[in-house]
Amino acid sequence: MKKHWHDYLWILSLTYLLLGFFNILFAWLGLLCFFIPLLFAGIGGNKGYCNRYCGRGQLFGLLGGRFGLSRKKDVPGWMKSKGFRYGFLIFFFIMFFQMLWNTYLVFAGAKSLGQAVTLLWTFKLPWHWAYHGTLFHAGVAQFAFGFYSVMLTSTVLGFFTMLLFKPRSWCVYCPMGTMTQLICKLKNKEVQ
């Protein structure tokens, strides 16, 4: 099938992850993966981002498909249940707000900058090599560490479910995917 420029956006996703190893401030770019899908859903009432421009989905599709790193088995039933998908979305949001709160504390001077990336909301990985001081407030860096943690965690989770199940299993419970579908449903008044 004919390839389009947007079939190569997985390169951007990969670059994003790599840049975070060198300078954590690049993590801010990840906000694009939050705002673009929301704009598609909120304004267009569609999932144009998922359907076309999501580099992360493409990356899993490529690694699991072309590179054969996936067992290509069906995801378990509970994983595609509404309960799990919405539950995971809520959990993701809570952790996201906790990260924002943490950033706020650093901005307010109540906490010092933690130069670590938290994987799976639990494991603190030292990451000081990617921080070289900044012209900006330490809070700017704190947000970068927090946001990169979110991105890395979701990549790791997605990677494992790619190995175990179908290449793009992450798309089944991806919070952005669930949220944009929900927005589209509400917008199109299709919620039963």
Q: Which residues bind ligand SF4 (CB under 6 A)?
A: 37, 49-50, 54, 56-57, 170-171, 174, 176-177
CB-nearest residue to ligand SF4: 177
1 binds, among ligand SF4, another protein, none (CB under 5 to 8 A by kind): another protein
CB atoms within 10 A of CB 102: 18
Rounded to a whole number of angstroms, the minimum distance from the CB of residue 117 to ligand SF4 is: 20
Beta carbon nearer to another protein, 88 or 107: 88
Which runs of consecutive H residues, i.e. helices, occur in 109-174? 138-164, 170-173
Rounded to a whole number of angstroms, the minimum distance from the CB of residue 31 to another protein is: 21
Rounded to a whole number of angstroms, the minimum distance from the CB of residue 143 to ligand SF4 is: 21
37 binds, among ligand SF4, another protein, none (CB under 5 to 8 A by kind): ligand SF4
Beta carbon nearer to ligand SF4, 137 or 186: 186
111 binds, among another protein, ligand SF4, none (CB under 5 to 8 A by kind): none
Beta carbon nearer to ligand SF4, 27 or 54: 54
Q: Which residues bind another protein (CB under 8 A)?
A: 1, 40-41, 44-48, 50-52, 57, 61, 72, 74-75, 80, 85, 165-172, 177-178, 180-181, 183-185, 187-188, 190
Q: Confirm if 180 and 40 have CB atoms less than 8 A apart.
A: yes
Q: Confirm if 116 and 125 have CB atoms less than 8 A apart.
A: yes
Residue whose C-alpha is closest to residue 11's, from 61, 51, 58: 58
61 binds, among ligand SF4, another protein, none (CB under 5 to 8 A by kind): another protein
Distance, CA of 100 to CA of 52 (rounded, Å): 29
Greatest alpha-carbon pair distance for the chain in Å reads: 55
Residue whose C-alpha is closest to residue 119's, from 94, 158, 156, 87: 156
DSSP assignment of 102-125 equals HHHHHHTTSS----EEEETTTEEE
Which residue is associated with the tokens 């144009």? Answer: 48
